[in-house]
């Protein structure tokens, strides 16, 4: 592997991970200046990057996000887009989407600087200077709870992002874990997983209190 594909130690350290606070940043958007994560304090938000304005896959993604805007709003979850295009380009692109595809984009789009993009690990070596398709799900305390990276050639599944926000909120509110494909899991349907007991007494109690396949695999309805 060539050296240009390798991140330095400092670059790796600067890229946020799950459980880290989202780096603080002042950004210009199509809705004016934003301070992240402060302006979304107390609510969830999804920060997502796209490679470039006026590109086919990105256009389908923005429409897909907008079509689910009300779903995110019901979850008290904001949407924030980002690419390294300038705000004027974002504005012309969303205007084109409205005029030609009859969809009005309701969420802000950050005019990302290279410094912001590098801070979030959005520019990957070997893919040019465009931002990759990244998704950061941020909780009301400004903590990154999930990160997704997609290659430029693959559009995202927005229903999965909605599901992730719902799942994280459900886990936080109820102290449970979320099974695969929830709420349509192959074993437990729309039920949730009870955290495994950590001692023998708790294990005996769990199998009496919940539906269990074994003491370490119990589930319940909410």
Q: Please identify every residue annotated as catalytic.
A: 58
Separation CA 22–CA 136 (nearest Å) = 9
Measured CA to CA in angstroms, residue 195 lies from 1, 154, 186, 187 at distances of: 42, 34, 19, 16
* Strand, coil or helix: 127: coil
| Bridge pairing between strands 211-214 and 192-194 | unpaired
Separation CA 198–CA 61 (nearest Å) = 43
Nearest Cα neighbor of 37 from 60, 54, 20 is 20
Nearest Cα neighbor of 45 from 79, 83, 73 is 79
């Amino acid at each position: 592997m060539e050296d240009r594909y390798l991140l330095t130690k400092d670059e790796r350290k600067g890229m946020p991970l799950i459980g880290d606070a989202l780096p603080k940043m002042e950004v210009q958007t199509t809705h004016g200046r934003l301070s992240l994560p402060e302006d979304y304090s107390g609510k969830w938000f999804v920060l997502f990057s796209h490679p470039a304005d006026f590109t086919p896959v990105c256009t389908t993604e923005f429409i897909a996000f907008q079509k689910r805007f009300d779903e995110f709003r019901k979850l008290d979850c904001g949407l924030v887009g980002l690419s390294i295009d300038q705000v004027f380009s974002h504005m012309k692109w969303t205007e084109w989407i409205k005029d030609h595809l009859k969809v009005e984009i309701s969420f802000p789009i950050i005019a990302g600087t290279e410094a912001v993009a590098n801070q979030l690990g959005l520019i990957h070596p070997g893919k040019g200077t465009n931002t990759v398709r990244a998704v950061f799900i941020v909780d009301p305390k400004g903590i990154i709870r999930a990160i997704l990276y997609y290659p430029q050639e693959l559009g995202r599944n927005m229903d999965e992002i909605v599901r992730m926000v719902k799942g994280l909120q459900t886990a936080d509110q109820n102290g449970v874990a979320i099974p695969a494909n929830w709420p349509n899991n192959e074993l437990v349907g729309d039920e949730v997983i009870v955290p495994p007991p950590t001692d023998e007494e708790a294990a005996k109690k769990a199998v009496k209190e919940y539906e269990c396949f074994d003491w370490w695999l119990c589930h319940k309805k909410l």
